Amino acid sequence: MGTSDTGIVAGRLPPAEIEANFTDLHAPLTRHEALVASDRCYFCYDAPCMTACPTAIDIPLFIRQISTGNAMGAAKTIFDQNILGGMCARVCPTETLCEQACVRNTAEERPVEIGRLQRFATDTAMQANRQFYRRAAPTGKSIAVVGAGPAGLACAHRLAMKGHEVIVYDAREKAGGLNEYGIATYKAVDDFAAREVDYVTAIGGIDIRNRQMLGRDIKLADLTARHDAVFLGVGLAGVNALSAEGEAAEGVEDAVDFIARLRQSPTKADIAVGRRVVVIGGGMTAVDAAVQAKLLGAEEVTICYRRGKENMNASEFEQDLAAAKGVTIRHWLQPLSIVTGESGTVAGIEMAYTQIVDGRLTTTGETTVIAADQVLKAIGQTFEPVGLDVLTLERGRIVADAEGRTSLEGVWAGGDCVADGEDLTVSAVAQGRDAAESIHRTLMATAAPAIDAVA
Amino acid sequence: MADIRNNFVGIKSPNPFWLASAPPTDKAYNVERAFKAGWGGVVWKTLGEEGPPVVNVNGPRYGAIWGADRRLLGLNNIELITDRDLQTNLREMKQVKMNWPDRALIASIMVPCVEESWKAILPLVEETGADGIELNFGCPHGMSERGMGSAVGQVPEYIEMVVRWCKQYTRMPVITKLTPNITDIRQPARAAKRGGTDAVSLINTINSIVSVDLDNFAPNPTVGGKGSHGGYCGPAVKPIALNMVAEIARDAETAGLPISGIGGVTTWRDAAEFLVLGAGNVQVCTAAMTYGFKIVEEMITGLSDWMDEKGHRTLDDITGRAVPNVTDWQYLNLNYIAKARIDQDLCIQCGRCHIACEDTSHQAITSMVDGVRHFQVMEDECVGCNLCVNVCPVDNCISMVALEPGTLDERTGKIVDPTYANWTTHPNNPMARQAAE
């Protein structure tokens, strides 16, 4: 049976209950459900959902294909624009993207279930291991992709399609990036991230090399020397500090590490969690960590965010999800110091009340202490420009143009590591794909500059 | 409260909703259930000659087409007339009529086109106490291959001949059921009238292949790898039926001939449409086969509520009311000008009106105004075709607004003429010019 001991311990719930808690958040649509759901699409002209999708998937077309019994064709429509359409179907905040734009919202405040339909179609193709793309004739070009996350994988796939050879360098044990390590377990069950990597790389010509960290194991200069082009999709390796006193105390941890540990555990039953957990932050990561802490059996889980509800990066849906799972969300609180017990472990966190004065966030002077034996920090990740000091940065991230070109010739970048990134899987995919097209154009123009010159 | 009691050629029923001759009226069990549910009458599933009954296929008998959410829109069948012994049917009919004296019970009959056959069966039917007979000249599948059903209904002379026999050999009212599988419905209706029929009922089912099994390359329903054309019915055939009913109602030769309207009646509204186009009552089959007998409750209350709301007291107040307004195209007023108007408060921005107009019609609806997604009718391009109204998913969002006489039609640059003028007098009509010369 479970336990309600204080401290950070595993087994707060029986293993069977934990297993049940971590099943699919949204069950896949059955064929019947998919047909009913697809019937609701109006096949809009210049569809707003399509415009809202960062990868511009032809949503009306793929839904119409599902409705006519052609789920396989629907999958190809999706993959044409977004080879990671399977993961995006699971993790996209559709409520702020395609489904928010759905005209059904205006009609009856209930959009077409685009995300779940996309999953139905992509699952159909992936379960059949149907590969839609063949590689073009070899170009003899070699491209280094740094980071096997959404941006890197999308870039690698498109490059491989064009006939280039791609070597993907990734710092971690497994490819997938945040898809593998950074997403709540219940959004990508059954090892989906790893299966998707296999599906994407099955096209051939993509060689993934793990445990290769830029600045440690490989150097940008070597990559630019060895390859015809380099794409950087390195993501955000760093995390922001709390700037609260006592942050180093035992029991204080980065939420991303907690989430990653959960993802890598086959059963989740071995993951320790506090009896009372405080999560600091207001984004998706905070919600992912808080909800999962609750699902592991934490008695009290509180998200503390230093501004109001309307400022939270977590979507309305995510906030509701957290509330439904029993997480308390408190606003206008920012951490002051970690309260430790006799053994030096976390006993609570002292929070300062905040307010906006003249447009600036300040503390009111009032404070409160929330009892906690675990504090998870989810106040944002940062780009660590290790080995990339030659690139122009802006607000701590790589500057890249619309095609993904950085300040250094022959080096492209995309995903969370670039400035103006939206920190979304789907945006990373779009940037990786578009950078691949740009790389291809550039390299092929070099090989055969005739067209422009003759004209 | 409106009085919806029905008197059709002397046959009385508490409401104008009868079940058509078909599987739902195959035997006492079903018919009793139908009467309990509130149906005003039934036309018993078609009786054949005395002797060994017909045999049905033992595989699928129905195929269908569906709309959104698999709503059944059209049904096709290859079932034949009753496959039960004649005496069993007659015995059950008699008992049911005794149990339900206030309901209409009509016997549908299909026997060979031989006088002796009709002469033989009519007294047997009469003995059951049935209120009338319906001559099945309509079924287009199976029996037509044996010279019955639509094979008779497609030859006006046969219709007239058989109707005459029936009027000669029975005192029961005769309703002649017509097949739509002809070019001009007025011809069989006129023949039935010449033969002395008391009424016509229409339409029977339409020859059809409802779909094809693309794995086996065979029509549906597929019986052992082969399919046969069947009879099509259900909501999809209603427009065809409405037109045929109206054609008979407004034909000088058959005007006033009682009509029992059949074809896709699913709701009270469908029924009311048949009534106002000249039907004295309606017969229903597919809707019952899709949803069960309970649907009659909606039909009864819906029709009655609508009549109350509009101040119609009896069915006679509404029957045939739309017939004078059914005319030939050549008499439509060419000076009547309407334009589409989009209610921006109701518009959900799907853009279907725009793309339908842009790709397939008159390029009269915007998609973007001042850089913003916006759908608006350009009156100087709009011909008033109504396509946008029909493709819009929101009820009442787009409406057709008639231009007032004296105002400017921006498309033609002409002032709207208040006078009525049709094609027969139009200067572009060569026949009209000839007349003028």
Question: Measured between CA atoms, how close is B75 to chain A, in angstroms?
Answer: 19
Domains B6-325 and B329-416 share a fold: no
CB contacts, 8 Å: B351 with chain A? 44-47
pLDDT of A454 strictly over 80: no
* Domains assigned to chain A: 4-8+239-377 (3.50.50.60), 39-127 (1.10.1060.10), 142-237+383-447 (3.50.50.60)
Instruction: Cite the active site residues of B.
Output: 139
By the CB < 8 Å criterion, does A30 face chain B? no
Nearest to B350 among A36, A39, A103 (CB): A103
| Among B257, B251, B247, residue whose Cα is nearest residue B198 | B257
pLDDT at residue B351, as a whole number: 97
Name the amino acid, one letter, at A263.
Answer: R
Nearest to A48 among B68, B349, B352 (CB): B349
Contact A46 B367 (CB under 8 A): yes
Nearest to A42 among B69, B373, B393 (CB): B393
pLDDT at residue B1, as a whole number: 87
Range list of β-strands (E), B307-354: 338-342
Residue of B66, B350, B354, B375 best to disrupt the A interface, most CBs of A under 10 A: B350
By the CB < 8 Å criterion, does A9 face chain B? no
Q: State how far the Cα of A160 lies from the Cα of A440, in Å rounded to an integer.
A: 10
| Sequence spans of domains, chain B | 6-325, 329-416
Residue of A35, A36, A45, A102 best to disrupt the B interface, most CBs of B under 10 A: A45
Question: Measured between CA atoms, how close is B206 to chain A, in angstroms?
Answer: 26
Contact B351 A36 (CB under 8 A): no
Does a cis peptide bond (omega within 30 degrees of 0) precede residue B221?
yes
pLDDT at residue B142, as a whole number: 85
Mean pLDDT of A408-421: 92
Mean pLDDT of A140-146: 98
State pLDDT tens for residues A166-214: 999 999 999 999 999 999 999 999 999 999 999 999 999 999 999 999 9
Q: Return the number of other C-beta atoms located less than 10 Å from residue B347's C-beta.
A: 20
Mean pLDDT of A35-63: 97
Sole residue written with tokens 């006129």: B190
Contact A103 B355 (CB under 8 A): no
Question: Measured between CA atoms, how close is A67 to chain B, in angstroms?
Answer: 9
DSSP state of A317: H
By the CB < 8 Å criterion, does A36 face chain B? yes
Give the nearest chain A residue to B345 (CA atoms): A106
Name the amino acid, one letter, at B162.
Answer: V
CB contacts, 8 Å: B393 with chain A? 42, 107
By the CB < 8 Å criterion, does A42 face chain B? yes
Give the nearest chain A residue to B395 (CA atoms): A107
State pLDDT tens for residues B144-195: 888 888 889 999 999 999 999 999 999 999 999 999 999 999 999 999 999 9
Contact B354 A45 (CB under 8 A): yes
Give the nearest chain A residue to B394 (CA atoms): A107
CB contacts, 8 Å: A104 with chain B? 348
Q: What is the DSSP string of B410-435?
A: TTTTEEPP-S---GGG-TT-HHHHHH
Task: Name, in order, each residue with C-beta under 8 angstroms of A347's C-beta and a sequence gap of 6 or more.
Answer: A339, A340, A341, A371, A372, A373
pLDDT of A40 strictly over 80: yes
Give the nearest chain A residue to B366 (CA atoms): A45
pLDDT at residue A451, as a whole number: 46
Nearest to B348 among A35, A47, A106 (CB): A106
| Among A249, A324, A337, residue whose Cα is nearest residue A287 | A324
Phi, psi of A362 (to 5 degrees): -135, 165
Pairing mode, if any, of strands B62-66 and B72-77?
antiparallel
Q: What is the DSSP string of A355-413?
A: EEETTEEEEEEEEEEEE-SEEEE-S-EE---TT-TTS-EETTEE---TT-B-SSTTEEE
Task: Name, in order, each residue with C-beta under 8 angstroms of B139's C-beta and a sequence gap of 6 or more.
Answer: B46, B80, B81, B110, B148, B149, B150, B179, B204, B205, B231
Give the nearest chain A residue to B353 (CA atoms): A45
By the CB < 8 Å criterion, does A389 face chain B? no
Nearest to B351 among A36, A39, A44 (CB): A44
Pairing mode, if any, of strands B281-284 and B398-402?
unpaired
State pLDDT tens for residues A69-82: 999 999 999 999 99
pLDDT at residue B148, as a whole number: 87
Q: State how far the Cα of A46 lies from the Cα of A33, in Å rounded to an integer.
A: 26
By the CB < 8 Å criterion, does A15 face chain B? no
Q: State how far the Cα of A320 lies from the Cα of A326, in Å rounded to an integer.
A: 10
Does a cis peptide bond (omega within 30 degrees of 0) precede residue B203?
yes
Which ipTM score applies to this complex? 0.86
Q: What is the pTM of this model?
A: 0.90
Question: Which residue ranges in chain B fall short of pLDDT 50?
Answer: 436-437
Q: What is the DSSP string of A150-170?
A: HHHHHHHHHHHHTT-EEEEE-
pLDDT at residue A335, as a whole number: 96
Confidence tier at A111 by pLDDT (50, 70, 90)? very high
By the CB < 8 Å criterion, does A106 face chain B? yes
Q: Return the number of other C-beta atoms located less than 10 Å from residue B362's C-beta.
A: 16
CB contacts, 8 Å: A39 with chain B? 68-69
CB contacts, 8 Å: B349 with chain A? 44, 48, 103, 106
Mean pLDDT of A134-142: 97
CATH topology for the B6-325 domain: TIM Barrel (3.20.20)
Range list of β-strands (E), A139-293: 142-146, 165-169, 206-209, 229-232, 238-239, 252-254, 276-280
Choose the CATH number for B329-416 among 3.40.1280.10, 3.30.70.20, 3.40.50.300, 1.10.3720.10: 3.30.70.20
pLDDT at residue A447, as a whole number: 59
Q: State how far the Cα of B269 lies from the Cα of B279, in Å rounded to an integer.
A: 13
Contact B348 A104 (CB under 8 A): yes
Name the amino acid, one letter, at A21.
Answer: N
Give the nearest chain A residue to B357 (CA atoms): A45
Range list of β-strands (E), B72-113: 72-77, 104-109
Q: What angle do CA B343, B347, B348 make, to 5 degrees?
A: 175
Task: Count contacts between A and B (CB, < 8 Å).
Answer: 35
Question: Measured between CA atoms, how close is A189 to chain B, in angstroms?
Answer: 30
**C-alpha B278 chain-centroid distance:** 12
How many Cα atoms occupy the beta-carbon half-sphere of A437 within 13 Å?
A: 8
Task: Name the percent of chain A lying above pLDDT 90.
Answer: 89
